Structure 1
Amino acid sequence: RALRVTYVGELGWELHVPIAATGEIFDALMAAGAKHSIRPVGYRALESLRLEKGYRAWGSDITPNDTPQEAGLGWAVKLRKNMDFVGRRALEKISGTALKKRFAGFTVDDREIVLVGRETILRNNEPVGYLTSGGYGYTVGKNIGYGYVRNADGVSDDFLASGEYELVVAMERTPAKIHLEPLYDPAGEKVKA
């Protein structure tokens, strides 16, 4: 089964094949792609690309403790349709209320800083959350981290944009810039081709 989806920010394919056929299919793909200089990539390359695009990783960026709205994925939930799904009633209860936490991206300019996740997010010198994932974006040339910014009074776009941010990396504070849009292809043109 071939699905026209991406987890790296460029139009691509995801192949679902029987385990026993993976070697044969891998060999066929490598042979067919040789004229295009195809080569395998590792998990860290995929991680770098998904961070640049702002794709969430299950288990770190999104967990059962996060709502789709908090994770910036509210567009994927169809509350206006008369269709039941697990968690619908819980989402209806909080629909229209101010979010107490929001998923956001952060970059640091210092290339020596290594973000891996779990770094503390400071807003105006106060801890407001921590990074859920991090890494280096080779296409955009920046260190990238994602995490949730929390505020008991609500986390609006204005609240997020008006703060001065730092990340605590290895016990040292480093200036950070907040991003609410993907760093790579924010309009999503590359995946619409």
Structure 2
Amino acid sequence: HDIGSHDNLLEAGLNFVADMTSGDFIGYQALMTQRSKGVPERRLVQFRLENPDPLLYHNEPIVMNGEIVGYLTSGAFAHAVGSSIGMGYVNVPLLSNEIISTAEFEIEIALERFSAQASLRGWYDPKGLKMRQ
């Protein structure tokens, strides 16, 4: 659900997994073209509902400052953080941590909007320390 054939590493925040200096992988030219444009037109963003009761699945609208800017690609209850989390592409050009930190995010579930925190990193172990053990 989260990363498909129409998405790229820059939008998904996964450019660190490719050796950009090698030039020998499928999609290299397309990725370099996208990279030369600067910040992507959309970003894969992580969300955490502030209310622990509602559940997220996928396709719920992402609302930023009162406007629908995308849809969740996946969601589930995260016992490690005590609430539902999800991720989805936010279609806002030049989206950055600074913009995310000052924006108001909501996720719409069955026509009701719930406040959400947003981040370009995961909610649990965002530095990936557990994976490196």
**Shared fold (TM-score greater than 0.5)?**
yes
Whole-angstrom distance in 2 between the partners of 1:111 and 1:63: 29
Deviation string, structure 1 residues 42-85 (Cα, Å, up to 9, x no partner): xxxxxxxxxxxxxxxxxx0000111101001010121212x422
Are positions 1:190 and 2:130 aligned together? Answer: yes
Question: 8 Å contact 1:70–1:99 — kept in the other structure?
Answer: yes
Are positions 1:125 and 2:59 aligned together? Answer: no
Question: 8 Å contact 2:44–2:89 — kept in the other structure?
Answer: yes
Q: Which protein is richer in helix relative to its size?
A: 1
Q: How does 1:1-193 map to 2 (within 5 A)?
A: 60-81=1-22, 83-97=23-37, 98-151=39-92, 153-193=93-133
The one-letter amino acid paired with 2:107 is L
Question: 8 Å contact 1:107–1:178 — kept in the other structure?
Answer: yes
Comparing 170-179 with 155-164, greater Cα deviation is found at 155-164
The one-letter amino acid paired with 2:68 is P
Cα drift, residue 140 of structure 1 = 1.5
Deviation string, structure 1 residues 80-131 (Cα, Å, up to 9, x no partner): 12x4221111111111322110011111122221100100001000111010
Whole-angstrom distance in 1 between the partners of 2:15 and 2:120: 14
Question: 8 Å contact 2:50–2:114 — kept in the other structure?
Answer: no
Give the SS at the match of 2:103: coil
The one-letter amino acid paired with 2:15 is G
The one-letter amino acid paired with 2:101 is A
Identical residues among aligned pairs (%): 35
TM-score by length of 1: 0.65
Whole-angstrom distance in 2 between the partners of 1:172 and 1:118: 14
Larger C-alpha radius of gyration, 1 or 2? 1
Count of residues paired in the alignment: 132
Q: Which protein is richer in strand relative to its size?
A: 2
In structure 1, runs of 5+ residues without a counterpart are 1-59
Question: RMSD across aligned C-alpha pairs, in angstroms?
Answer: 1.3
TM-score by length of 2: 0.92
Q: Which has the higher contact order (CA 8 A, sep 6+)?
A: 2
Question: 8 Å contact 2:13–2:120 — kept in the other structure?
Answer: no
The one-letter amino acid paired with 2:57 is V
Deviation string, structure 1 residues 112-159 (Cα, Å, up to 9, x no partner): 2110010000100011101000000012111101001112x4222222
Question: 8 Å contact 1:99–1:156 — kept in the other structure?
Answer: no
